[in-house]
Amino acid sequence: MSAIITLTTDFSLADAYVAAMKGVILGINPEVKLVDICHSIKPQNISQAAFILSTAYKFFPQRTIHVVVVDPGVGTERRAIILRTPLADFVAPDNGVLSYVIQDFYQTPPVEQLQPIELPPELEAVAITNPEFWQSPVSATFHGRDIFAPVAARLSLGSPPTDFGETITSLTVLPLTHPYWVQDDILVGHILHIDNFGNLITNIKSEDLPATKQAITIEVGSHSISGLNRTYEEGKGLLALIGSSGYLEVSLKEGNASTFLNAEVGGKVKIRLGNQ
């Protein structure tokens, strides 16, 4: 079957860990299409992996299988899971790495701190406990190769999730930050991610901004930006726009905003209603 399996890990491409996973997958389903989403996740940075995955998975065809191996608890009691959504399947540790995927099924932020949440009815989840399809022997330190890869490959051949373990009804999610109004006219958001261009991608989405076309000022550190641009090319210096994933971004024309502003993930970005 010509299914697609994507891989997201913190393994980098400087080792052969990713390749070993691909070898295992191709040994089970030689026809599968393998696509790398990202292997540059910072070691054990679950929230970064969760965000990166969220910016890509919706663009893959229905029933693509996304394997995520950012797994500091490998070999311990943390669960390995399959999550089936109407669009896609996910094979990952149950450590919050699917938080954005799950959150898309909630209207409001589901949790304030790392914890399990009850799944809505559209989502089906299974704890991977049946060793029948694992590599043998299973290492204690590389479940990506020995459990996630062979499970994803079997799943790509059409096995139902329940072949791999028992149905579960709650999954762990990260306490994702959401922008909040501190005054009637000030919205506070945070930087979720800094991309390769140095763009600061915030947790402020276009729907968080006033629907009316009123003037806004974007503040980051001691800098202010008047209003939103449509492209990276208009204007000059610092600019803000709604990026291709729907988040407000701060960018520096022909430069690197992150370096220029000395910005970091988690830093604040404020929206002030009205002109500067």
Q: Which neighbouring-strand residues pair with 124?
A: 84
Q: Is 57 near a copy of itself (CB under 8 A)?
A: yes
Of 198 and 227, CB closest to a copy of itself: 198
Q: Is 94 near a copy of itself (CB under 8 A)?
A: no
CB of 153 to a copy of itself, least distance (A): 11
Count CA atoms closer than 13 A to 118's CA, side-chain side: 2
Burial of 267 (0-12, 13-18, 19+ CB in 10 A): middle
Q: Which of 5, 37, 97, 128 binds a copy of itself (CB under 8 A)?
A: 37
Q: Which of 5, 24, 46, 271 binds a copy of itself (CB under 8 A)?
A: 24
> Strand 200-205 vs strand 186-194: parallel, antiparallel, or unpaired?
antiparallel
User: Is the CB of residue 232 less than 8 Å from the CB of residue 198?
Assistant: no
Size of the site for a copy of itself (CB under 8 A): 66
Closest CA relative to residue 239, chosen from 224, 221, 260, 258? 224
Q: Is 148 near a copy of itself (CB under 8 A)?
A: no
Residue type, 52: I
Where on the chain is the footprint of a copy of itself (CB under 8 A)?
2, 4, 6, 10-17, 19-24, 26-27, 30-31, 33-40, 43-44, 52-53, 55-57, 59-61, 64, 72-76, 139-142, 145-146, 193, 195-198, 230-234, 241, 243-244, 254, 256
